[in-house]
Amino acid sequence: MTDALWYFARGSGVVALVLLTIVVVLGIGSRSGRSVFGLPRFAVSLLHRNAALLAVVFLAGHVIGLLFDSYAQLRLFDLVVPFVGKYRPLWEGLGTVGFDLLVAIVVTSLLRNRLGAGVWRAVHWLAYLCWPVALLHGLGTGTDRGTWWLWTISLTCAGAVVAAVGWRVSPAFARFPARAERRVAPRLLEEASR
Amino acid sequence: MTRLHIDWTACDGRGLCTELLEEMLVEDEWGYPVSRDGTTEPVVPPPLEDAAKRAVDRCPMLALKLVRR
Amino acid sequence: MNSVLAAQTLLTAGDGGLDDHLSRYGRLPSLDGSQIVGLARDAELTGRGGGGFPMWRKLAAVAAAGTPAVVIANGAEGEPVSGKDRLLLTRKPHLVLDGLHLVALATGARAAHLYAPAALLPRLRESLAARGRAGLDKLPVTLTAAPDAFVSGEESAVASAIAGRGAVPADKRVRLVETGTLVQNVETLAHLALIARYGAGWFLSSGTFLATVSGAVARPSVVEARYGVPLGDLIGAAGGATENLRAVLVGGYHGGWVPADPALPVTREALAPFGAAPGAGVVVALPAHACGLVETAKITQYLAGQVAGQCGPCVNGLPRIAGTLADLAAGRPRPGLPGEAARLAALVTGRGACRHPDGTARLVLSAMRAFEADVAAHLNGRCLATGGRL
Ligand SMILES: Cc1cc2nc3c(=O)[nH]c(=O)nc-3n(C[C@H](O)[C@H](O)[C@H](O)COP(=O)(O)O)c2cc1C
Ligand code: SF4
Ligand code: SF4
């Protein structure tokens, strides 16, 4: 029984990491305003969202599995407060950080219409922190650490995200490079700041 | 009547709405939506209301709103 | 009587002081809110900030908004070729403040604001202090400086500046009046102050508007006249044209070019065929030796530089329109050039948080009509105004 739980927890953790990678890449893709992998923009955006929700499901499986696992000795408390766990507190703590960040990102996204675009976007930037934290957590903890297959998966994920971010910051990213930047004219704010 | 309102201070020309509502919107040369009928707040015909709701929901900048006037 | 000089009610000499004001006009009669709305309606008082919207409708909408109302006197006068609001605030600040007091009463406002260029604020502060000493206003008036920018007087920019967020126009999904905010031009308020004293009938027969007349005239100045005044009389009141005129810009940088016809009445109806309107009363006379396309290109360049920077179609479209007009003015023909200006004008219209793109488009479209022959000549490398090759 415990073994089954342990395998389940490990497996769902890895799947969640792969899904999160897909989410980040699709997120960057939909930010570009281009069609990605031949998909229309709205499909990229929908896939981004659905992959994120699926990642949450697997992550929940990962966490629940560990809560009931006698070896990891995860407590509910550890889901909220990082680095105080009993089992490899540093690496497990990274998992907690990643989990909390993801919860924040997903919850603000679901409540986007109520929170407003400003709050939502600010929190969404945390994705760039959430993903590497999740990757490190996977590499540093768990029974599978150091196995060739986990390294392969992790490196592939890292490669995908690095490539997407590289594209994001390159001039080729914008679909309308000639488009003028939207920025409030400073002269309108002058009196207010005095 | 249901109309589609675009908050131009928010729209970043990401072009999702022009795909989801291509019956009503096209992109201008900078990627910002233009209503096909040339009006500022185009009327949403009843058969397109679901598509319009989807566009409102999926706009990454929350720039779209359905208004009744 | 010459309709320009009829009843100089707003511009009569005045030192701006409260004693002068009270001896000239007396105190405001005591009126209740619905009486004030009724007076504005019966007098058919329209806004003088450019839009020409009936004031009473705005008063009624703000009063009905169901939130504590805020009233704002808009003296920003961002338009560079307008000077009437500044003159009014210098010469007759108490008429404006009376008007502000009246709209506060009409809307049940909890706060009143006067928004004006920073240079005018010290004297306005004295005016307010004098009123306080005389026990005139129950509702205190807050002064706010208007940044020196074309869009700083746009109504939602005004409301934003008052709230301390900078003079930045806002989206209008919910109309400003529905939020309980009333923004009125200072001249509109001054007229209301006179209507309260002399009645709606008086205004219908003797009410005026202020016009800022400049360009090729002997004495560029602010003149007072009645709607319907022939264009020639307005220009005459500013000392007359200094030479033959090619065209006249009416309504300011968001207005339209009309022929230099002295008999043309300055009314909404008579100007509409030219895509112009009295607007905020700006009149610029273009001399015969100047090229209307060059002038329009300059104005468009200025307007493109004054965008608030928020809305994609405006931020991208206005500089493109300006570039197109610059090419036309300089006779750099490229395929489809005149049509391009009209296409872009239509493209930006209605696609901004404020009407800055609409106003710019209006000016450009009117120039394309008024200077049609010049466009054809420029495309052939000639300029009709200078008579030479481009
Ligand atoms: C770009 C732009 C600039 C404007 N600038 C002014 C201004 O400087 N002063 C003004 O009174 N109204 C200005 N307006 C008009 C205001 O939005 C508003 O209609 C007016 O202040 C309302 O007052 P009224 O109804 O008494 O005219 C501007 C409008 C636009 C679109
Ligand atoms: S989806 Fe939203 S941000 Fe994108 S173009 Fe349409 S309105 Fe603008
Ligand atoms: S329409 Fe233009 S001027 Fe008006 S708010 Fe938008 S960017 Fe600014």
Cβ-contact B37, B48 below 8 angstroms: no
Cβ-contact B17, B42 below 8 angstroms: no
Ligand 2 mean position to A106 CA, how many Å?
A: 21
Q: Are the Cβ atoms of C308 and A190 closer than 8 angstroms?
A: no
User: In this predicted structure, what is the pLDDT of residue C1?
Assistant: 36
Confidence check: pLDDT of A193 > 70: no
Nearest CA to ligand 2 atom 4: B14
For residue B10, give its domain range: 2-68
How many degrees, rounded to 5, is the angle at CA C36 between CA C44 and CA C57? 50
Domain boundaries, chain A: 2-193
DSSP C136-160: --SS-EEEEEEPSSGGGGSHHHHHH
Q: How do the residues of chain C divide into helix, strand and coil, expressed in percent and rounded to 5? A: 50, 15, 35
Confidence check: pLDDT of A192 > 70: no
Residues in chain B: 69
What are B29-58's pLDDT values in tens digits?
999 999 999 999 999 999 999 999 999 999
User: In this predicted structure, what is the pLDDT of residue A3?
Assistant: 79
Using CB atoms, list chains with 3+ pairs below 8 Å to chain C.
A, B
Using CB atoms, list chains with 3+ pairs below 8 Å to chain B.
A, C
Strand (E) or helix (H) holding A123: helix A117-124
Ligand 2 in reach of B64 Cβ (< 6 A)? yes
- Which pairs from C209-212 meet CB under 8 Å and 24+ separation? C209/C48, C209/C278, C209/C281, C210/C10, C210/C11, C210/C48, C210/C84, C210/C87, C210/C88, C210/C281, C211/C84, C211/C266, C211/C278, C211/C281, C211/C282, C211/C283, C212/C81, C212/C82, C212/C83, C212/C84, C212/C281, C212/C282, C212/C283
User: In this predicted structure, what is the pLDDT of residue A144?
Assistant: 65
Beta-carbon contacts of B41 under 8 Å, excluding residues fewer than 6 positions away, are B3, B4, B5, B6, B67, B69
A177: Cα within 13 Å, side-chain hemisphere: 5
Chain C residues touching residue A194 (CB < 8 angstroms)? 145
Chain A residues touching residue B14 (CB < 8 angstroms)? 30-31, 33, 41
What are A160-185's pLDDT values in tens digits?
999 999 999 998 888 898 899 999 99
User: In this predicted structure, what is the pLDDT of residue B57?
Assistant: 92
Number of domains in chain B: 1
Enter the ipTM: 0.97
Residues of chain C with pLDDT under 50: 1-6
Question: Domains in chain C, start-ordered, CATH in brackets?
Answer: 18-206 (3.40.50.11540), 209-287 (3.10.20.600), 292-379 (1.20.1440.230)
Q: Which token pair is C86?
A: 């500044």
Q: Which token pair is C257?
A: 């070019």
pLDDT category at A2 given cuts 50, 70, 90 is low
Cβ-contact C214, C283 below 8 angstroms: yes
Q: Which atom of ligand 2 is nearest to the CA of B13?
A: 5
Q: Which of B27, B64, B65 gets mutated to test ligand 2 (max ligand atoms within 8 A of its CB)?
A: B64
pLDDT averaged over every residue in chain A: 88
The better pLDDT of the pair A2, C180 is held by C180
CA distance C241 to B6: 46
User: In this predicted structure, what is the pLDDT of residue C25?
Assistant: 93
Chain C nearest-CA distance from B47, in A, is 23
Nearest CA to ligand 3 atom 1: C352
Q: Are the Cβ atoms of B30 and C350 closer than 8 angstroms?
A: no
The lowest-confidence range among A43-47, A67-71, A105-109 is A67-71
pLDDT category at A190 given cuts 50, 70, 90 is confident
Chain A residues touching residue C118 (CB < 8 angstroms)? 191
Q: How many helices (H) and strands (E) does chain A have?
A: 8, 0
Q: Is A30 on the interface with B (CB under 8 A)?
A: yes
User: In this predicted structure, what is the pLDDT of residue C3?
Assistant: 45
Residue A186, SS3? helix
Ligand 3 in reach of C69 Cβ (< 6 A)? no
